[in-house]
């Protein structure tokens, strides 16, 4: 296992933001993106009274994090689930919705383990089967998406999820090549993208395949549609005084988190009311000014922290029924 796997992003900031909620006796915290358990291990260590529920859709991640968290015994409950299933998981574990949880943490995007396992197909730097499924027991692989989606749909995905300006050019090349032979491995796709792009486009922004791989990964795993459901569900699951922290790694995720937090922190009262009734009062207080970034020192020590954006909020009142 490579050491880079074990460096949780913005760890100290996550712990400090959640601390006022997790220092309470009997606190329950949900790590919605367990991965290899780095954030979870740190939370269980720093908050010895807290109970942790860890979710991951990747069975290999659950196995490895289970080994890591074994010393904490029954303080850690690990569940094979996608993070938008949070309400159902809490119900199954007998945590009353009326009671809520004290903390929720999301560390979005692809995990270090998935990037480091060559045969998962997430990394464009090494040849591997084009899979990209976080849960390899279900759903379409990236190769199936490339080989079967209509050209217009592929262009939409590359533009929307990869913010790829050259989407049409890349998709034209993909369609031409897949007719000769279906795609199965990443190296062929990386080479096709290099060949399809004009010189100017290759000179900026790192590996030219990066945006296409991101777009395929988001599509294969339904990441944005899952996130659209998961963040509001997580806010709803918080007890009053509970806190949520979210680490995002690209602008689409961060924008979605920002919108949910901003809506929760705003009054919904019609303008001009002399007194704002309870049901219109904000439910959230923002704990970060905009999105916080990792320090230069952290980026130097862990290059995967570079694109991270962190936002936090606190639940300040119940939903009025």
Annotated binding-site positions: 37-39, 56, 83, 107, 114
Rounded CA-CA distance 110/106 in Å is 12
Among residues 160, 241, 169, 172, the alpha carbon closest in space to that of 198 is found at 169
Burial class (CB in 10 A: 0-12, 13-18, 19+), 48: exposed
Angle at 29 between CA 313 and CA 75, to 5 degrees: 165
Alpha helices, H only, the chain: 11-22, 38-46, 59-69, 86-92, 112-116, 142-148, 151-162, 167-180, 186-196, 199-202, 210-221, 223-237, 251-264, 296-301
Query: What's the number of CA atoms in the CB half-sphere (13 Å) around residue 320?
Result: 9
DSSP-derived 3-state class of residue 11: helix
Binding residue positions for S-adenosyl-L-methionine:
37-39, 56, 83, 107, 114
Q: What are phi and psi of 169, to 5 degrees?
A: -65, -45
Cβ atoms of residues 32 and 78 within 8 Å? no
- Write the DSSP assignment of 207-250 as a string of letters: -TTHHHHHHHHHHHHTHHHHHHHHHHHHHHHEEEEEEEEEEESS
* β-pair type (309-315, 284-286): antiparallel
Tokens 């020192």, located at residue: 297
């Amino acid at each position: 296992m490579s050491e880079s796997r074990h460096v949780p992003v913005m760890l100290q900031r996550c712990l400090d933001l959640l601390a006022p909620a997790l220092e309470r006796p009997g606190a329950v915290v949900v790590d919605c993106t367990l991965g290899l358990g780095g954030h979870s291990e740190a939370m269980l260590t720093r908050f010895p009274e807290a109970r942790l529920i860890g979710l991951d859709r990747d069975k290999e991640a659950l196995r490895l994090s289970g080994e890591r968290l074994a010393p904490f015994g029954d303080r850690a409950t690990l569940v094979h689930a996608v993070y938008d299933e949070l309400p159902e998981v809490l119900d199954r574990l007998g945590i009353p919705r009326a009671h809520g949880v004290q903390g929720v943490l999301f560390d979005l995007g692809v995990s270090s383990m998935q990037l480091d396992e060559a045969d998962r197909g997430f990394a464009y730097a090494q040849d591997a089967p084009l899979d990209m499924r976080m849960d390899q027991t279900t759903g379409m692989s990236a190769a199936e998406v490339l080989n079967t989606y209509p050209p217009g749909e592929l262009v939409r995905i590359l533009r929307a999820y990869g913010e790829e300006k050259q989407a049409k050019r890349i998709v034209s090349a993909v369609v031409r090549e897949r007719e000769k032979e279906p795609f199965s491995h990443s190296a062929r796709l990386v080479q096709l993208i290099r060949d399809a792009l004009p010189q100017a486009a290759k000179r900026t922004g790192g590996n030219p395949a990066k945006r296409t791989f991101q777009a395929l990964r988001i599509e294969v795993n339904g990441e944005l549609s899952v996130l659209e459901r998961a963040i509001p569900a997580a806010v709803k699951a918080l007890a009053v005084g509970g806190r949520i922290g979210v680490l995002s790694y690209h602008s689409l995720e961060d924008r979605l988190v920002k919108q949910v937090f901003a809506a929760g922190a705003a009054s919904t009262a019609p303008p001009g009311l002399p007194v704002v009734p309870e049901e219109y009062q904000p439910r959230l207080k923002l704990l970060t000014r905009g999105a916080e970034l990792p320090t230069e020192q952290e980026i130097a020590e862990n290059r995967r922290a570079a694109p991270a954006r962190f936002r936090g909020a606190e639940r300040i009142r119940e939903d009025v029924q």
